[in-house]
Structure 1
Amino acid sequence: MKTLKPGEIAAYCDVHHRTVSRWIANGQLKGHKLPGRGNYRVQLDDFLAFLQKQKMPMPEALASEASSSVARLLIIDDEPAFRAAIKRALYGKGYDITLANDGFQAGIKLIQLKPDLITLDLDMPGLNGFEVLSYIRQTPEFAQIKVVVISGLAEAELEKSESQWRRCGSG
């Protein structure tokens, strides 16, 4: 895991290195002290999450490293309130979050983004979550993506469809 010194972070953010040390000391930026002199170090992922949380621009020099180190999350749900709630819950946790409001849009975004993690609603009009999950598991390029099924279906309906979603999920 790549670490950054406060001076490096200061250069990226165009601030004094003491400002970065204060961010760490105040708990705004996750970092750790080295034994001995007590110099700070910050993991790259923690710095990138800090930038996102503070709505600060991504330094161009880190853009390529950021795209490879930030987990890409695709939220697939037809209900705007549920999409927003999931996004809110995961915002600032180090994810690059993308939203899809139906199964068709999800397919397009899957191909474009190749996400690391997907949250998926089963009950959607048109191309439903079962069909999306089946597509993911049957496509070698996507088969290893982690999928978290989140559904507003009643418990009885979920139990009735359990064999269907398990069959889709195991590909």
Structure 2
Amino acid sequence: MIAMTGSLPNSDLVSNNLTDGQVVRNATLHILLAAMRVMSRSTGVIRVETKYHRWKLLLTGGGLVLAEEEGQVIPTLVRKYNSKGINFSRIPEWEQRQNNRPYCFPFVNNVYKKYPEVTKEVLREIILENFLSLHLEDSFSFVWSPANELQVNLPIWQLSVLENTIANEVRQWQKFDCVKHPFQLVQLVDAANLLARVGNDNFPLFAKVTTGQDRICAIADTFKQPIYRTALLLDKLAQKNIVSIVQLQERKSDSDLGARPQVTTPTVTKDEPRVFIVDDSPVLLQQMQRLLTGWGYHVDFTDDAEAATDRILEYKPTIVFIDINMPSLNGFDLIKQIRRQRDLATLSLVLVTAENSMTNNFRARWANCRFLAKPRSSSDTPKFRDELRNLLRELAPLSTDTLV
């Protein structure tokens, strides 16, 4: 593999230099788009990396067929199909990941045969969403992998049409004060002012999607409106300090697809209790990790609920905090998995959710778990910390805690 640095002056030079497995680094958007136009004359995947995200883009016939953002393939497809009235009770096992084809290619092919018009609409939305995201980032590294043997029977969106479609929207996004990217998370700060702004009818749903776990693009799907319209409203709310637009998190520089968020932590005494957290929100994971290590706990975590039981068996924590609403496996199903393990049958488990309902409280008690409600606004944070600290003093006390 040959690494190239700097920028390439035009598409002809890209054509002459970009070969299978060759990496172009620190390229501008102009260079990336030029490479895509050249490589789309054949069939293959261009893998793109920025400081924040990774993509696989399937090119053929002068256009773009599929756009996959790493780590978001299943949630994005399920969300988009759900918004069109098609619900999947389970996602089948997809074939092993390969560099020269998108992860979801077999699945989308099968669904397209059954729901061609809906799938065409879903894929177009995903492509435009990711194309917009690419245009709002600065520096790119990419590599081309030919796949001439791949039989592509899906719709093709010509790159020239996509670029013209997205150009005006990019200019509008660049005028925002607080919102910078459709993949940013949104955290509710002032619930009272939000209620006054959106009204009683919209408040419950709006509060549900502003817990720091939902992206702007997902919020737009929830309200069935264009991303730009949602971003415009959120930008105005952020200017009034009603919501906070969370900065994009830098990804690890290595190629580990399952890499977890890395946070610098203070030194913790060797014999202090171990805490494990399972949540699909990178923001919450980092906030909880900083808080608990600051108190003196050892902390590990995962955003992959399906892998959590094995991680817990390996880590041997004193207590585990589990989110209820996760895309791959909900918290109650994870509890069942954990309790089936003889070594984890008596492990202290705590369900953590923004949905502080009687039903969730009852189900937590029935599952022999404790329950902790996430703060809905900044004013709830002190109460949440007090409840969390008291619960830990009871179930996983530090050596410095005095128990009465």
Shift in Å, 1:149:
1.6
- The alignment's TM-score, normalised by the length of structure 2, stands at 0.24
Richer in helix (by share): 1
* Residues 1:166 and 2:365 are matched in the alignment: yes
Shift in Å, 1:126:
1.6
* Residues 1:86 and 2:288 are matched in the alignment: yes
Shift in Å, 1:73:
0.9
- The alignment's TM-score, normalised by the length of structure 1, stands at 0.53
- Residue identity opposite 1:74 in structure 2: F
Mapped partners of 1:167, 1:138: distance in 2? 15
CA deviations 1:23-57 (Å, max 9, x no partner) are: xxxxxxxxxxxxxxxxxxxxxxxxxxxxx73x5xx
- 1:91 partner SS: helix
Mapped partners of 1:134, 1:159: distance in 2? 20
* Residues 1:144 and 2:343 are matched in the alignment: no
List gaps (5 residues or longer) in structure 1: 1-51, 59-64
5 Å-filtered alignment, 1:11-30, equals: none
* Residues 1:101 and 2:303 are matched in the alignment: yes
Shift in Å, 1:166:
2.8
Runs of 4+ aligned residues of structure 1 deviating over 6 Å after TM superposition are: none
CA deviations 1:129-151 (Å, max 9, x no partner) are: 10112222332211222122211
Mapped partners of 2:272, 2:343: distance in 1? 19
- 2:294 partner SS: coil
Mapped partners of 2:304, 2:366: distance in 1? 21
* Residues 1:72 and 2:271 are matched in the alignment: no
* Residues 1:125 and 2:125 are matched in the alignment: no
Mapped partners of 2:362, 2:352: distance in 1? 16
Mapped partners of 2:345, 2:292: distance in 1? 23
Does structure 2 retain, via aligned residues, the 8 Å contact 1:121–1:151? yes
In our comparison, the structure showing a higher alpha carbon Rg is: 2
CA deviations 1:46-103 (Å, max 9, x no partner) are: xxxxxx73x5xx9xxxxxx93xx22111111011111112112212322221111031
Mapped partners of 1:130, 1:169: distance in 2? 11
RMSD of aligned residue pairs (Cα, Å): 2.4
- 1:169 partner SS: coil
Length, aligned pairs only: 105
